[in-house]
Amino acid sequence: MATDHAAASQTHFARRATGFVRDVKVSDAVIFNVLPACPGLVMAVSVFWVLTAFSGVNVYACIVITAICSFLISGAFGLLSQIMPRSGADYILISRSLHPALAVGSSILIGASSMLAMGYWGVFTAKICIGPMLTMVGVAADSSTLQSWGGSIASKPWDMLVGFGEIALLALIMAYGMRFMMRVQFWLFTLGMVGFVVAALTLLTTSRSSFISHYNTYAQPFTHKPDSYHYFIDQANKAGTNLSTTTDWHNTVVASGAFIAFGVWVWFSTNLAGEIRQAGTRKNWYSMLGGLAVTFGSILIMIALLYHTIGQQFLTAVTAVSADPTVYTLPNSPWWITLVAAIHTNTLFVAFLGITFVCWAPLIVYIQIVQPVRALFAWAFDQVIPEQIAQINERTHTPVLLLGVIAVASLPFLYAAAYTTSFFKYIALSTIVGFPTFVLVGIGAILFPYKKKAAYEASVSNVSLLGVPLMVFFGIGSIAAGLFGAWLWLEYPQLGLPGAGKSLADQLFTTPGSGGLALIAACLILGAIIFYLGKAWRKSQGIDLSLNYLEIPPE
Amino acid sequence: MGLFKRKKEAEGDDALRLYYASDIHGTEVLWKKFLNAPKVYDARVLVMGGDITGKVVIPIVQEDDGTWSARLFGGRQEARDEAELDGLERRVRGNGMYPYRTTHAEVDRIAGLPEEEREQWFESVMLHTFGEWIKLADERLAGTGIRCFVMPGNDDPQALEDCIRQGTNVESCDEAVVEFDGYTMLSLGYSNRTPWDSPRELDEDQLYQRIHDLSEQVPDMSRCVFNLHVPPYDSRLDTAAELDENFKMVLIGKEPHMIPVGSTAVRQAIEEYQPLASLHGHIHESPAANRIGRTLCINPGSDYHTGRIAGCLVTLRGDRVVHQFVTG
């Protein structure tokens, strides 16, 4: 067969051989890295959370702090992953740079985070996506049935059942084939972003006075007030809510924890690194930076537009009074999307906004399913656990059994999220377990260039700054970001972590569900147990697991 | 405790550990690691399963002022003295490419050669480097008692076989059945047809016939290892992205369309002869181990561009086999 690959240039000469193919575009990995912090959902949860919980918060500063942490963590993950482009994320990176027992523990920590997130995002699907969407459309169409459905589906047990149905459906799609899942992912993401952009343009083209007028018209049937906009501000003032726009820097730093909860996962494509050929190139890290730019760029733009059109004072006030049913009598919580829907009450427009907003929900749940599947795969590939656990279906080439197990395993997490009296506890526990991994990967990034010199030198991560490997700087940065995040969550109970603010000993010696440190310790101990049991079992078969993690010296 | 009941047996003296790797594609650091693998993994037999040579020559051009320059990783690299030049060449070799000291005039001449002549020139550069590798292997393996089998793959030129035969501590095994420690190994480095028209490809019926002919020399399939560069068709060891006529990945839903690209002849041979184990390479992105009948089929994949060698430890004990993927 004729080929153009031998075409010469002055830079290199290539010959006919297998392997010269153009790989998946960086944009695919960028989308994947945006998914853990879907802008639409993070806007709905984080912004409205911090506006009321932390008076004087500067949301822009929170996002910048989170973006810096995310940048530092992504650097450590990205540079290490470029050297070891294998599926399994932190397990692969830590096992090869530090110790496999710590790596299994880290995998369990991130797995716990994913399962907890699967629970609360599953419940959120009904609670903040489908329910409000039905209510929004019901209000626009003047349909009490739709409004009633919206209220019902957002309450127990429907929220849990919807979440489970969503997880089961996603598992089915993933079991059908990764290719089909990727198509679903692409279209859901595209629809979600189109809705996001349309919402942004709506805000951009609406003046403050126009919004107030529209909102008052929209709210009047429920509040029976001619000027609901200022009524809510007055009521918030009377309730003692701080509506000042002067920044309280202490509260701003603490509130950044709420954004860190969702915004420091732009390295998630390392879970698929072995399946993306370009993961061995600088495009691996660049895809994370792309994800970071899309995530934080879109959130920053949307916040600026919300402040511009709706006003920071009103956003804070309405969020604060929404907890008081005697004052806030509207059928929908004041999420950003429901506020935008108040501008144009055309039913089709509202339905479009609602449906595109709902598209984010399965995406963020899907990303949580990917992590435990890939981690167990990596363990099985290293023979830490039986290979049968990650058995691939001959027909679909997907781990059908494993996907089924994870779907079923999500049930207790959905139940816990749906029936808890402290919803934020699960977000808090899901967040806190991520920080040790950032620290461990950071240590790994510092040590790797010296421990495994040949692999480092041969990689595209072999870049130095002032004579020191760039990885070392990002390793230090990842450790700092991990410790900073852990400190915020362990120190400040406002973020919702059980036991936060107590002494570290108190937080450690409690049950894992009642303290973040206890959960971290439990996961790490479980990781060590799994690894050493696996090692002993494999030794009995003549397999030495420790050989998996060695680098052969070339000289 | 049941979990540990086979420990004593597994550590017995009669177990033979073999280290298999392939598809290093001219990456010198990987060849050096391959030769050092017995020290780290305590292996008595080494098998290099093909696609050993690289795909790219990087001209390092001498400038008028005596310095040297090359384009590498999308940027211009310069070397002002011999030490820097050595460093530059090391970086080129470390990434599976061949450095070639030359002049602008020669670069222009090579660029203007017809394809056939350019392939010959490329081959001469490759063979020179590979000759140095064989010398290194002879040095490192001397007196160790380690058997080292090397076989060209579909991407390697036929002349590579001559280089392998010149080694004193390296053994050629392509299109042959060799013996070690009471086991036999049947080897074939050819692949089925690929879109690239690489140097050593056969039609499926020809591939089957060669394996069939070799299999007649195998006395006991239960103590035989197949060393076939191309993996069996639809075995999970052979999943690769589908390519269009321009060598671009076929994307469906922004995802590469993955299809089985292995050999039906190899699959048929494994199904019919049922050797103890079957070692494969060729498809870098499809590392896996899978059984076809009683035969354990293994492809460790390849990450050659990362400077880490993907390999597999295969422990043979009688008619039993255990595998362990290792990336060193």
pLDDT surpassing 50 at residue A228 = yes
State which of A32-36, A102-106, A338-342, B2-6 shows the largest mean pLDDT: A102-106
Q: Which residues in chain A are closer than 8 Å to B40, comparing Cβ atoms?
A: 547, 550, 552-553
> Is the pLDDT score of A504 beyond 80?
yes
Name the class of domain B7-55+123-327. alpha beta
What value does the mean pLDDT take over residues A40-61? 85
Span B132-155, pLDDT tens digits = 999 999 999 999 999 999 999 999
Tell me if chain A has a CB within 8 Å of the CB of B320. no
The lowest-confidence range among A366-380, B71-85, B152-166 is: B71-85
| Chain A residues touching B11 at Cβ < 8 A | 542
- Find chain A residues with C-beta within 8 A of B57's C-beta: 12-14
Return the pLDDT at B2.
Answer: 44
Q: Which of A8-22, A209-223, B234-248, B304-318 has the highest mean pLDDT?
A: A209-223
- Residue B55 has what pLDDT? 80
CB contact under 8 A, A22 and B247: yes
The pLDDT value given to residue A13: 60
Burial-class residue B108 by CB neighbours within 10 Å (0-12, 13-18, 19+).
exposed
pLDDT tens digit sequence for A264-282: 998 888 877 666 556 567 7
d(CA A158, CA A150): 11
Average pLDDT of span B235-239: 89
- Considering only alpha carbons, which residue of chain B is nearest residue A392? B236
Q: What is the pLDDT of residues A325-340, one digit of tens each?
A: 999 999 888 988 989 9
Q: How much is the pLDDT for A11?
A: 55
The predicted model gives A428-454 an average pLDDT of 94
pLDDT in tens, B259-282: 889 999 999 999 999 999 999 999
SS3 content of chain B, % helix, strand, coil (to 5): 30, 30, 40
Chain B nearest-CA distance from A13, in A, is: 5
Say if B76 is an interface residue toward chain A (CB within 8 Å). Answer: no
Q: Is any Cβ of chain A less than 8 angstroms from the Cβ of B236?
A: yes
Which residue on chain A is closest to B136 by alpha carbon?
A555
What residues in A contact B315, CB-CB < 8 Å? 542-543
Beta strands in A161-302 (DSSP E): none
Contact A539 B257 (CB under 8 A): no
| A415 pLDDT higher than 90 | yes
Return the higher-pLDDT residue of A498 and A9.
Answer: A498
Instruction: Please determine, for residue B291, whether its predicted confidence score (pLDDT) is greater than 90.
Output: yes
| pLDDT at residue A551 tops 90 | no
The average pLDDT across B66-86 equals 87
Q: What's the rounded mean pLDDT across residues A239-263? A: 91
Its ipTM equals 0.84
The distance of B217 to chain A (nearest Cα, Å) reads 30
Q: Do A548 and B248 touch (CB under 8 A)?
A: no
Q: Which residues of chain A make contact with B108, given a CB cutoff of 8 A?
A: 10
Non-local (6+) Cβ contacts of B124 within 8 A are none
The pLDDT score that the predictor gives to residue A275 is 60
- pLDDT tens, residue by residue, B106-126: 999 988 888 888 888 888 888
CB contact under 8 A, B253 and A180: yes
At residue A6, the pLDDT reads 35
- Looking at A459-548, which runs of residues are DSSP E strands? 464-465, 468-469
Looking at residue B174, its pLDDT comes to 96
What's the mean pLDDT when you consider all of chain A? 88
CB distance from B258 to chain A under 8 Å? yes
From B60, which residue of chain A is nearest by alpha-carbon distance? A11
Domain with CATH 3.60.21.10 in chain B: 7-55+123-327
Residue B65 has pLDDT above 50, yes or no: yes
- Residue predicted with more confidence, A418 or A6: A418
pLDDT at B12 over 60: no
Q: Position A34: which residue type? A: V
Note the pLDDT of residue A526: 97
> Are residues A20 and B196 in contact, defined by beta-carbon separation less than 8 angstroms?
yes
Asked if the C-beta of B215 comes within 8 angstroms of chain A's C-beta atoms, the answer is no
Residue A529 has a CB neighbour count (10 Å cut-off) of 13
Q: Is A29 buried (19+), middle (13-18) or exposed (0-12) by CB count in 10 A?
A: buried
Are B307 and A21 within 8 A, CB to CB?
no
At residue A19 the predicted structure's pLDDT band, cuts being 50, 70 and 90, is very low
Q: What is the mean predicted confidence (pLDDT) over A435-451?
A: 96
Q: Do A387 and B255 touch (CB under 8 A)?
A: no
Distance CA B182, CA B279 (A): 18
pLDDT for position A25: 57
Q: What are phi and psi of B244, to 5 degrees?
A: -90, -175
Asked whether the beta carbons of residue B59 and residue A12 sit closer than 8 angstroms, the reply is yes
Question: pTM, whole model, 2 decimals?
Answer: 0.81
Residue B191, H or E segment: none
Put simply, whether B109 touches A (Cβ < 8 Å) is no
Please report which confidence band the pLDDT of residue A21 belongs to, taking 50, 70 and 90 as the band edges. Answer: very low
Average per-residue pLDDT in chain B?
89
Please tell me if residue B230 touches chain A, with a CB cutoff of 8 Å. Answer: no
Sequence-separated (6 or more) residues with CB below 8 Å from residue B147? B44, B45, B46, B171, B180
Which of A2, A454, A537 is nearest residue B307 as measured by Cβ atoms?
A454
Q: Which of A12, A186, A456 to mutate to test binding with chain B, by most B CBs within 10 Å of its CB?
A: A12
What is the model's pLDDT at position B97?
A: 87
Q: Which chain A residue has its CA at the smallest distance from B195's CA?
A: A1
| pLDDT greater at residue A210 or residue B248 | A210
**Residue B242 backbone zone (phi > 0: left; psi -120 to 50: alpha; other: beta):** beta
